[in-house]
Amino acid sequence: MNIFVISLQRSIARRDAVAAQFAKLRQRFEFFDAIDGNAAATRHFLRFDRSTFRLNTYRDPATGEIACYASHLQLWKHAANTNEPILILEDDCRLADTFPAAVAATSRLIDRFGFIRLQYSLRRRRFRFGATAHLIQPVDDFDLYYLSRVPLCLTGYALSPRTAAQLVASSLTLTAPVDKFLQRTWEHRVPIFGLEPACVSVSSLGLTSTIGNRSVKQRTPGAMLRRGRYKLQGSLARSRFNKTQLELLNAAEAPDLAVPYSA
């Protein structure tokens, strides 16, 4: 499985840090030149739904944010066009010593499960009702989970060609940052899995964002009311999607999806 690291050509320090890690782990990889925020990144989408983007974020997109989504999108298209699974990292990644073993395990699983996160997946939040992840099966020294609540951040993940094509088809309209888009599984219809323990995390280089300022938000009473309705609708749709996926994963008649799982 080919490994691509999304990185701006001008991010020399980040590229040097990535190359040093891969050299230490004796893993091959390739830099993918990220789409620069100063370019017309919106050309990679047919439409921009500003109202939905604001429902998801309380703000308009940063230019670098659109470029980040477009960079991931181009690699999804590459996977779909070449009909080969790929592993995608961002250049602020920190790789654990278990990374090569995780890549080997993911290579065997990706055709069956479609989208596998290699960074943290098990959300530990207080006052959260319902499970956020469901154990599917052990593989080598790892456990594969179905993620009923997908964390933000896309520092490291793998995807199959079929899944890549499905995400491309669902990305014609820009409605959210790329990680928020992927959280909304009930819309793009791609179940997301996570391999634990995580072998990818965000390095100290990630403290300085290359995307831009996303802190200014417009939380007017009207916007908050609209977002509240939007989130409620999303929660209900997510519950229905998760129920269907877990039934498929547990069904004896669907061995191509997963081994049976019982809580």
- pLDDT tens-digit map of 100-142: 999 999 999 999 999 999 998 876 654 444 568 899 999 999 9
What pLDDT, on the 0 to 100 scale, is given for residue 150?
93
Domain residue spans in the chain? 2-250
Whether the pLDDT of residue 262 is over 80: the answer is: no
Asked if 104 and 140 count as a contact pair (C-beta separation under 8 A), the reply is: yes
Q: Decide: helix, strand or coil at residue 103.
A: helix
Minimal CA–CA distance to 101: which of 209, 29, 198? 198
Question: Could you tell me what percent of the chain has a pLDDT over 70?
Answer: 86
* Average pLDDT score, the chain: 87
Q: What is the pLDDT of residues 28-85, one digit of tens each?
A: 999 999 998 765 567 889 899 999 999 998 888 888 889 999 999 999 999 999 999 9
pLDDT score at 102: 98
Q: Which amino acid is at 156?
A: G
pLDDT at 132: 84
pLDDT confidence of residue 220: 81
Ordered DSSP codes for 175-231: -S-HHHHHH-HHHH----EEEES--EEE-GGGGS-SS---------HHHHHHHHHHH
User: What pLDDT sits at residue 130?
Assistant: 54
Interatomic CA distance for residues 241 and 148, integer angstroms: 9
Express as a percent the part of the chain with pLDDT over 90. 69
User: Is pLDDT of 232 > 60?
Assistant: yes
Orientation of helix 221-250 relative to helix 50-57, angle to 10°: 80
pLDDT at 261: 26
> What CATH class has 2-250?
alpha beta
Residue 253, pLDDT > 60, answer: no
Token pair recorded at residue 223: 């916007």
246 vs 143, 240, 242, CA distance in Å? 16, 10, 6
Q: What is the pLDDT of residues 236-249, one digit of tens each?
A: 999 999 999 999 99
Q: Which of 15-24, 189-198, 204-213, 225-234 has the lowest mean pLDDT?
A: 204-213
In 83-206, which residue ranges form alpha helices assigned H by DSSP?
99-113, 161-169, 178-183, 185-188
Q: Is the pLDDT assigned to residue 20 strictly greater than 80?
A: yes
